[in-house]
Amino acid sequence: MSDAVSGCIRAIKGLAPPRAGAVTIEETDAAIAEAAATRSGTRAGVMGRVWIGSALLVLGAAAACSPQTPLQPASQPTPAQTDQSQRPALKVVGLADNGATVTLEPGQLLRIELEGTPTAGYAWQLLPLPDRARLVSQTSRPSNPEGRAAGMVGGNDWSVFTVDSTSPTRVTIELVYGRPWELQAGAAPERRFRIDTVMAVN
């Protein structure tokens, strides 16, 4: 048997040694697997970059389309608020100050608090004020709010008059106490209250 035929038989049986420079089947398989892995990694990297870029575009579009809340300027106090904050504290007087003269600071309001029995028809009434004064508010509150809330009938109330009388000259404020219909008919009041105000000179 010739050498060529013997080499073929050994190659078929796996006994033939590889020739120098020849690539074996194992090396070919390894090269194919490495190439496939490289292509897979390259494709994954490309897809990852494409996905990140798409996500950034979506986020940018959402930010551009979302409504922006405009910055609100700091609230400024209204003239009324500024005026109230700059006013001195109220000057409060009551029946014990009847006939007295009180001194008011510029812009200071006078509050008169007098107790009566409106449930029996008796109430305090403010007489017409001079042009140099004006009535700011008139309110009332029960002397015994707990009893009134519990359903107690009758009882006294406080009549509260807030007056602006900051005039350079003396201002006289008067109130009378009685039943309104009797006072209108000319009856004498049960009580009288008078107070004079002057403005402080700084």
**Tens digits of per-residue pLDDT, 78-93?**
544 445 556 688 999 9
- Give 45-68 pLDDT, tens digit per residue: 444 454 444 544 444 444 444 455
Q: Which residues lie closer than 8 Å to 78 by C-beta, 6 or more apart?
A: none
Cα–Cα distance, 177 to 117 (Å, whole number): 10
Cα–Cα distance, 124 to 112 (Å, whole number): 11
CATH architecture label of 86-199? Sandwich (2.60)
Domain boundaries, the chain: 3-65, 86-199
pTM of the model: 0.56
Who has greater pLDDT, 152 or 193? 193
Confidence (pLDDT) at 24: 53
At residue 156, the 3 state secondary structure works out as coil
Burial class (CB in 10 A: 0-12, 13-18, 19+), 191: middle
Cα–Cα distance, 97 to 157 (Å, whole number): 19
Residue 41 has pLDDT above 60, yes or no: no
Torsion sign over Cα 150, 154, 156, 162: positive
